[in-house]
Structure 1
Amino acid sequence: MKNQKILFALMAIGLLTAGGYGLYRLGVSRGMHSGMTMSAPVASAAASGDAAKADSAGKKVLYWHDPMVPGQKFDKPGKSPFMDMQLVPVYAGDAGDEGKVSVSSRVQENLGIRTAEVIKGNLGQAIVAVGSVAYNERDVAQLQARSNGFVEHLYVKATLDAVHKGQALVDLYVPEWVAAQEEYLTAKRLHGAGADGLADAARQRMRLVGMSDAQIRQVDTSGKVQARATVTAPTGGVVTELAVHEGMTVAMGAPLFRINGLGTVWVNAEIPESLAAQISIGNAVEAHAAALPGTIFKGKISAILPDVNPVTRTLKARIELANPSGQLIPGMFVTANFVSPARKDVLLVPMEAVIQTGTRSVVMVDQGDGKFAPVDVDLGTETNGQSEIRAGLRAGQKVVVSGQFLIDSEASLKGTATRMGDMTAASPNIEASSAAGPISGPTHHGVGKVESIGKDEITISHGPIATLQWGAMTMGFAAPAGGLPKNIAVGDTVAFDIRPMSDGMFAIARIVPTVDVPAPASAPAARHPAKSGNGVAK
């Protein structure tokens, strides 16, 4: 009895297994006849000739694809399984144009693609720099004692006191001057032969002891000894150095006063060394200070100092500003606007049209009829939201200024596929591989932030990858067989393509840095997720 129960159980299991397999085959058979199926690579579809069809205009369609997921190709038209949009046909004439992309008008509208014309214009770069006000060191008067003497009275008793030209500064008693004056007056009173010679000799002695011509004339006119000498300011400004006090004894050559003029001042502006070529001595400058709103000070560059700050990578431009009212005070911060001579008839494009890859600059050129092609350009200066194009474009062409990153990604993938196809045709035995096994299968595109870089692995916090039905996560990928590009570093935002390997892992097929697409704000960590039967990371 027991054996009969076991026999009946085995027969039931066999019937269920056969029924399940029959239902599976029926589902596969119906699935092959209804809905869309992903085709083999383009080369296989073209070889068989079954997938290639002709549209109403007679053009030969090689396959259909979703521009947002360019790695997947379909052999029938329909709605994209990834995005709410129709699949776009790829024609035989387009497939041979490496790097070019065709985008329908509807897709352009959905992606928000905008273009701008390459124009010729005048490029006058305005450079704005911040600097501090300093004394004009060419407008300085240094007063010293001409003879030994005593300070009897000071008229200016503190530094930074303002003085005007001719103002009395100090009274000095100089015994040596008194003796020379008395000798001169005595010689002047003599009469007879040789009296004039003695008077001339006495006058010369007064000069030798340090008396000025004005002081000698005063003695000669008054006929009296001037016991005290008054030192006056030779120029207007402020007293920046006061080295004497009342009652002091001073020696010949000792400093008394230093006076700095304020009629003109210097501004030492910090200029980035990358902009040094845009300025030159004599350039006009307009400056304004936050402490003096509404007041514009005009001047010019008087010198460019030959010294670069190794920390800030800036050099100093010395600006000389007119300061007739003395409003600019040393130590103030001012903003200086440099106006460089405008260059005429240069090619200009909006700055957002340029894609910086780290090693080259690329723009997407609109070739009409929905076709776009990447073009390498040589950039010049950038100002007022425009970039100068030195080579690569001509006036009248249209460049993409919005959505160009998506088009560039498709163009790069298309060019890579074409080049790989050419290599395989030339050397059938060549196969992309990694340490874990050969890379095969479709390409999947993602954007994320590089978290770490190992010897054979790179960890990326990426956003959702629609083709794999993955959400945002942090995971590791095998590095390319040839190694990572040198311009990839930890913290970079990157666009990357991955392909599955034989062990179920994924390897980087292509990776480029980008500043156009932000990295995901946050992503849960997942290291080497396993793959289920439907390709979803668990």
Structure 2
Amino acid sequence: MERKLFIQKFALLALVPSVFIAACSSEEKKTGEAKAVKKQTFTCPMHPQVIKEEMSTCPICGMDLVPFEKNSNEKALTVDEKRQALANITTMVIGVNNLSGAKQLNGRLTVDPEQSSYISSRIAGRIEQLYIRETGVVVKKGQPLYQLYSEQLATLQQEYLMAVAQEKQFPGEKIEKQIVESAKQKLLLYGQSAGQVQQLLHTQKKNPYVTFFAPESGVVAELYVNQGQYVTEGGPILRLEGYGNLWVEADVYPNEAKGIKEGQRVKVVIPGWEDQPQEMTISFITPALQSGTQLTQIRGSISNPNHQWQPGAQANVFLPSGSNSAVLTLPVDAVIRDGKGMHVWIKKGKDSFEPKRVNTGEENDNQVEITAGLQNGEQVVVTGAYLLYSEYILKKGKNPVEGLKISG
């Protein structure tokens, strides 16, 4: 009996460490799980600088704070009913319609490089007078630009006068005539005009000062020198831009560029001058996508005789398109376009919205054809899509189309 009692006591003692170890392990697991729980932070949709660790209202505008989900991999965006009403988020079911009209591309006016000219110093010297001292000044052809002091030029003038005098000593000598002509050509090549050479011959006095004139009209775009500065032969003085013709550059997606050809004529409208539409011939289509985007460019030229338009102004390019029947269409504003691609927002539940990449085809002022990415019957956000786009970037810290592939 005593032996049996001893065995029971020994088994009980052996069991105590196991229970203790298991209890410790359980406690450590709970502690680890508690540490693994991340604190939820909240922010204001209108004032992202407001960040709190508890649900409350914004101290600035009084709006309810929302969960702050920065860098989350969740594609869905949750927007409650109240905020949907404030943001005017509305949806429609995409369906099949007929589409006709012209496709509008966003473009801009830029300087035509063929209208630009660089003016450099023909000879080394010091700029004694600089008649143009700021950019943006309109310059007329033949207008004086700067006066240069050059001992080298005075030496060339002296050589010319000596050659003329030498020819008079030996009239009729062919070699003397060639020397005179060579000395004259040097002066012309170094920037002296024919009138200045004739004046030199008349006065018989060398002049180390020479005035240089504008070879053509234009607007001073860049000025590289200051008065009193020494310049070397070939040193840049200024750059002129001509605005008589301007380039029109427009961004297009690769799938849109398939139907565009060089030599195709399109309509160009400058906002504010809708009553003066211009006709442009597409002269170039860039063969590569722009760096960091999914866009390529088309380019053409329009006349600007009165300089009424300035480089940098917006331009709308309209590509003619035929009539398509039985195609999926959406309002133009429903499609978000940026350098990463095109996408729309789909309503997945009462308060849930998800981005979907799409491809587009023909479009007019109001409707755009969806060629890939959506199915007939899906519920698409048609107003407030840009607000969802902005909120996604605010809350997730990345572009909604990153990692998305086109389906359908």
TM-score range, shorter chain: 0.5 to 0.7
Partner of 1:140: 116
1:351 partnered with 2:298? no
Distance 1:225 1:491 in 2: 77
Partner of 1:408: none
Contact 2:116-2:240 at 8 Å conserved across structures: yes
Contact 2:225-2:237 at 8 Å conserved across structures: yes
C-alpha displacement of 1:216: 3.2
Partner of 2:35: none
Cα displacement string for residues 489-521 of structure 1 (whole angstroms, at most 9, x for unaligned residues) = 9889xxxxxxxxxxxxxxxxxxxx8442549xx
Bigger relative contact order, structure 1 or 2 (CA pairs below 8 A, ≥6 apart): 2
Q: TM-score scaled to structure 2, two decimals?
A: 0.52
Distance 1:150 1:165 in 2: 23
C-alpha displacement of 1:339: 3.4
C-alpha displacement of 1:258: 1.0
Contact 2:110-2:246 at 8 Å conserved across structures: yes
Indicate how the Cα distance of structure 1 residues 295 and 449 shifts in structure 2: closer, same or farther if over 3 A, else same. closer
Cα displacement string for residues 414-433 of structure 1 (whole angstroms, at most 9, x for unaligned residues) = xxxxxxxxxxxxxxxxxxxx
Partner of 1:256: 237
Moved over 4 A (4+): 221-224, 489-492
C-alpha displacement of 1:323: 0.8
> Matched residue pairs, number?
249
Indicate how the Cα distance of structure 1 residues 491 and 255 shifts in structure 2: closer, same or farther if over 3 A, else same. closer
Cα displacement string for residues 430-474 of structure 1 (whole angstroms, at most 9, x for unaligned residues) = xxxxxxxxxxxxxxxxxx976xxxxxxxxxx69xxxxxxxxxxx9
1:467-506 map, 5 Å: none
1:336 partnered with 2:325? no
Distance 1:160 1:153 in 2: 19
Indicate how the Cα distance of structure 1 residues 518 and 276 shifts in structure 2: closer, same or farther if over 3 A, else same. closer
Indicate how the Cα distance of structure 1 residues 514 and 283 shifts in structure 2: closer, same or farther if over 3 A, else same. closer
Distance 2:124 2:199 in 1: 21
Partner of 2:283: 302
Distance 1:449 1:296 in 2: 40
Distance 2:199 2:245 in 1: 34
Counterpart code for 1:516: G
Indicate how the Cα distance of structure 1 residues 180 and 349 shifts in structure 2: closer, same or farther if over 3 A, else same. closer
From 213, 217, 231, the equivalent of 2:212 is 231
1:279 partnered with 2:260? yes
Indicate how the Cα distance of structure 1 residues 514 and 278 shifts in structure 2: closer, same or farther if over 3 A, else same. closer
RMSD: 3.7
Indicate how the Cα distance of structure 1 residues 188 and 208 shifts in structure 2: closer, same or farther if over 3 A, else same. closer
1:97-246 map, 5 Å: 126-190=102-166, 191-193=168-170, 197-198=175-176, 200-208=178-186, 210-212=190-192, 214=194, 215-220=196-201, 223-246=204-227
Secondary structure, in 3 states, of the residue corresponding to 1:156?
A: coil
Cα displacement string for residues 360-385 of structure 1 (whole angstroms, at most 9, x for unaligned residues) = xxxxxxxxxxxxxxxxxxxxxxx9xx
C-alpha displacement of 1:318: 1.3
Secondary structure, in 3 states, of the residue corresponding to 1:138?
A: helix
Q: Which runs of 5+ in 2 are unaligned?
A: 1-95, 333-345, 357-373, 381-408
Distance 1:517 1:124 in 2: 23
Distance 1:349 1:243 in 2: 59
Indicate how the Cα distance of structure 1 residues 203 and 152 shifts in structure 2: closer, same or farther if over 3 A, else same. farther
Secondary structure, in 3 states, of the residue corresponding to 2:286?
A: strand
Distance 2:204 2:111 in 1: 43
Contact 2:116-2:239 at 8 Å conserved across structures: yes
Identity among equivalent pairs (%): 25
Secondary structure, in 3 states, of the residue corresponding to 1:160?
A: coil
Partner of 1:322: 303
Whose Rg is larger? Answer: 1
Indicate how the Cα distance of structure 1 residues 259 and 189 shifts in structure 2: closer, same or farther if over 3 A, else same. same
Contact 1:235-1:261 at 8 Å conserved across structures: no
Counterpart code for 2:144: A
From 351, 359, 377, the equivalent of 1:516 is 377
C-alpha displacement of 1:207: 3.3
Distance 2:100 2:376 in 1: 27
Indicate how the Cα distance of structure 1 residues 187 and 518 shifts in structure 2: closer, same or farther if over 3 A, else same. closer
Partner of 1:431: none
Secondary structure, in 3 states, of the residue corresponding to 1:351?
A: strand
C-alpha displacement of 1:202: 4.5
Distance 2:355 2:143 in 1: 66
Counterpart code for 1:148: A
Contact 2:163-2:183 at 8 Å conserved across structures: no
Indicate how the Cα distance of structure 1 residues 311 and 182 shifts in structure 2: closer, same or farther if over 3 A, else same. closer
Moved more, 127-136 or 221-230: 221-230
Distance 2:164 2:254 in 1: 69
Q: TM-score scaled to structure 1, two decimals?
A: 0.41
Q: Which runs of 5+ in 1 are unaligned?
A: 1-114, 355-382, 384-447, 451-460, 463-473, 475-488, 493-512, 520-538
Counterpart code for 1:146: R
Indicate how the Cα distance of structure 1 residues 290 and 195 shifts in structure 2: closer, same or farther if over 3 A, else same. same
Cα displacement string for residues 73-131 of structure 1 (whole angstroms, at most 9, x for unaligned residues) = xxxxxxxxxxxxxxxxxxxxxxxxxxxxxxxxxxxxxxxxxx99x9xxxx986231111
